[in-house]
């Protein structure tokens, strides 16, 4: 019992450390280029990004601490995916800095209704992501085939093969609009070729190592966006 409590305490500390580090980093990337803490779009994004993240973390720690532990400690092993992660990091870095500079210099000003609509889309993406976590216990931040893993073909997985990436499309492409920056939105479009590269490699890994995945691909035609892609 003491061992279990100690592990939960360690997991909580690890999760909170990552969240606090994330809040600090995102705040630095947004408000330093903006030159002001009055950048309200930045506060809005941080609220809708980190409040649900903290809530989801507590739920996962209570219901599935193993999944939370796996997601906190996951490290990509494949060199091709390491490149994808590096490019994604550079994309976010450029997009956040551009958004702060956009606020400081007033390059583009989006009407508030677009910001609020993008906020709704962002929260929808979060809800889809939570549903994917609920449906797929094998979901991982890394491209891998886990021990005893089975093909999931129900729920969102019966509509598209990669519903997690469907949710990240909504999250990442709405994020710059929440920040009120057209420049950042253009930068974030780089996510499309990045995720295309990741999916191509991921599907090859799954076909090679996961029994039944080839048949699943035949049943579910679309990868990310129903009726489109």
The share of the chain scoring above pLDDT 70, in percent, equals: 82
d(CA 90, CA 75): 18
- Cβ contacts of residue 70 below 8 Å, gap of 6+? 140
* Residue 63 confidence (pLDDT): 67
* Residue 17 confidence (pLDDT): 84
Residue 229 lies in a domain: no
* Residue 202 confidence (pLDDT): 86
Residue 225 lies in a domain: no
Residue 25 lies in a domain: yes
Q: Are 33 and 97 in contact (CB under 8 A)?
A: yes
Q: Are 199 and 223 in contact (CB under 8 A)?
A: yes
Q: Is 42 exposed, middle or buried (0-12, 13-18, 19+ CB in 10 A)?
A: buried
Residue 66 lies in a domain: yes
Structural domain range at position 13: 2-219
The total number of structural domains that make up the chain:
1
Residue 100 lies in a domain: yes
Residue 226 lies in a domain: no
Which CATH number goes with the domain that contains 120?
1.20.120.1630
Each residue's pLDDT tens digit, 176-215: 999 999 999 999 999 999 999 888 888 888 888 888 888 9
Q: Are 176 and 99 in contact (CB under 8 A)?
A: yes
Residue 170 lies in a domain: yes
* Residue 2 confidence (pLDDT): 47
Q: How confident is the model at residue 76 (pLDDT cuts 50, 70, 90)?
A: low
Each residue's pLDDT tens digit, 108-165: 989 999 999 999 999 999 999 888 888 876 666 555 666 667 888 888 999 999 999 9
Residue 71 lies in a domain: yes
């Amino acid at each position: 019992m003491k061992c279990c409590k100690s592990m939960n305490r360690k997991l909580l500390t690890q999760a909170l450390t990552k969240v606090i580090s994330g809040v600090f980093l995102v705040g630095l990337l947004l408000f330093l280029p903006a030159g002001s803490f009055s950048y309200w779009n930045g506060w809005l994004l941080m609220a809708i990004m980190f409040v649900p993240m903290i809530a989801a973390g507590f739920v996962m720690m209570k219901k599935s601490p193993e999944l939370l532990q796996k997601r906190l400690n996951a490290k990509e092993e494949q060199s091709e995916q390491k490149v994808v992660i590096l490019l994604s990091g550079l994309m976010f870095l450029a997009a956040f800095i551009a958004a702060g500079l956009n606020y400081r210099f007033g390059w583009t000003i989006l009407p508030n209704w677009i910001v609020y609509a993008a906020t709704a889309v962002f929260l929808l993406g979060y809800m889809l992501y939570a549903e994917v976590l609920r449906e797929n216990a094998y979901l991982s931040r890394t491209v891998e085939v886990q021990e005893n893993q089975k093909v999931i073909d129900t729920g969102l997985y019966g509509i598209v093969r990669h519903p997690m990436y469907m949710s990240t499309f909504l999250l990442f492409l709405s994020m710059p609009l929440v920040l009120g920056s057209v420049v950042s939105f253009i930068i974030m479009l780089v996510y499309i070729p990045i995720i295309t590269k990741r999916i191509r490699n991921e599907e090859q890994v799954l076909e090679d190592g996961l029994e039944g995945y080839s048949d699943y691909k035949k049943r579910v035609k679309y990868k990310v966006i129903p009726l489109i892609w």
